[in-house]
């Protein structure tokens, strides 16, 4: 990572480059198609950020299964620099200072367009992409997109790949955090029993309290929560998201009002980022916040109530 002095030198050295990138970086939509990305691979000001969730899961360790990347992509380990323990709660967004330094070291700032690429193999991998996307937006970056279907779709369509990631150039990034995209545990506690929709992104076994995250002291859900399994949005045959009409229909079952205050949560804020992305970025729900600490953070205090499958408090 860049030390403060090194970051300053990098900032001075790249002023002209950043100015050029700001003028030429393509404007992104939240969901980027494989067709669009291939057509813009060599465009100035575009950073392709491959989210490497493989090493965390122990995958792709032999030569026959070596990693593949979109040409020109740089790679970032996940959760790696993106998440850390904060105030005793594991898996939180890393410190703003740390993320500023890290993003500067990999060439990301407000002057570039960033396409986030995940493996596309399953919903958990998709959520790694949406979690990184959410973090970039939370830090104040606006020109960010997520590749629909990730590397799974890219390779299935026979698009060009490389077996080596690109080497990033340094930049200089200063965050402007967006407080409207996140919510604290104290604020969630104040929301219980109000008209705020507490939206549980987890599969039913977690929602009903039959399963729990290994770091959560207790199973269960937030009192008054409704469930919307994030997997419902994903086409399992392709790894891409379902059509916008299908997404809207799925969401409308629990969420009729697009102006409602919505808190998206799960176990650690990973799966919940998928629901946040679909609702806030694609479907136009105006007030969706991600509860970063989610049930792991909520249940650390035994005094905070949870509900089990039949509505019994636990």
Tens-digit pLDDT profile for residues 84-134: 999 999 999 999 999 999 999 999 999 999 999 999 999 999 999 999 999
- Mean pLDDT of the region 206-231: 97
User: Are 191 and 198 a contacting pair, CB within 8 Å?
Assistant: yes
Count CB neighbours of 186 within 10 A.
8
d(CA 121, CA 313): 36
Instruction: Between 24 and 233, name the one with better pLDDT.
Output: 233
Lowest mean pLDDT of 10-14, 164-168, 214-218, name the range.
10-14
User: Are 201 and 228 a contacting pair, CB within 8 Å?
Assistant: yes
Going by pLDDT thresholds of 50, 70 and 90, the confidence category of residue 67 is: confident
- The pLDDT tens digits of the residues spanning 269-294 come to 999 999 999 999 999 999 999 999 99
d(CA 40, CA 61): 31
pTM: 0.91
For the four alpha carbons of 189, 193, 197 and 198, in that order, the dihedral sign comes to positive
Given this model, what pLDDT does residue 65 score? 64
Round the CA-based radius of gyration of the chain to a whole number and report it.
Answer: 20
d(CA 77, CA 169): 17
Whether pLDDT at 166 is above 70: yes
Domains and CATH numbers, the chain: 4-177 (3.40.250.10), 180-298 (3.40.250.10)
- Mean pLDDT of the region 239-249: 98
Phi, psi of 114 (to 5 degrees): -120, 120
Whether pLDDT at 21 is above 70: no
Given this model, what pLDDT does residue 39 score? 97
Given this model, what pLDDT does residue 19 score? 45
- Mean pLDDT of the region 55-62: 47
DSSP for 252-279, please give it.
HTT---TTSEEEEE-SSSSHHHHHHIII
């Amino acid at each position: 990572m860049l030390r403060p002095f090194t970051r300053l030198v990098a900032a001075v050295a790249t002023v002209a480059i950043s100015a050029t990138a700001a003028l030429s970086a393509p404007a992104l939509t939240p969901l980027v198609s494989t067709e669009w990305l291939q057509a813009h691979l060599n465009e100035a000001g575009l950073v392709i950020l491959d989210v490497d969730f493989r090493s965390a899961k122990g995958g792709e360790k032999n030569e026959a299964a070596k990693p593949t990347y979109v040409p020109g992509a740089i790679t970032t380990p996940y959760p790696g620099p993106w998440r850390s323990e904060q105030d005793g709660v594991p898996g939180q967004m890393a410190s703003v200072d740390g993320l500023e330094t890290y993003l500067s070291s990999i060439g990301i700032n407000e002057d570039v367009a960033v396409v986030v690429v995940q493996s596309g193999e399953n919903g958990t991998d998709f959520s790694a992409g949406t979690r990184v996307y959410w973090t970039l937006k939370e830090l104040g970056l606006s020109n960010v997109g997520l590749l629909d279907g990730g590397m799974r779709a890219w390779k299935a369509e026979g698009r060009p790949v490389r077996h080596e990631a690109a080497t990033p150039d340094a930049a200089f990034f200063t965050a402007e955090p967006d407080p409207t995209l996140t919510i604290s545990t104290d604020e969630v506690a104040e929301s219980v029993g109000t008209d705020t929709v507490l939206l549980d992104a987890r599969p039913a076994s977690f929602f009903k309290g039959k399963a729990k995250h290994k770091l959560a002291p207790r199973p269960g859900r937030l009192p008054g929560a409704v469930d919307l399994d994030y997997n419902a949005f994903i086409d399992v045959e392709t790894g891409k998201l379902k059509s916008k009409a299908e997404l809207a229909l799925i969401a409308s079952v629990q969420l009729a009002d697009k102006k409602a205050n919505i808190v998206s949560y799960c176990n650690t804020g990973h799966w919940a980022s998928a629901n946040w992305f679909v609702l806030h970025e694609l479907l136009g729900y105006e007030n969706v916040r991600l509860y970063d600490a989610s049930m792991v953070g909520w249940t650390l205090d035994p005094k905070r109530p949870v509900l089990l499958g039949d509505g019994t408090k636990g």
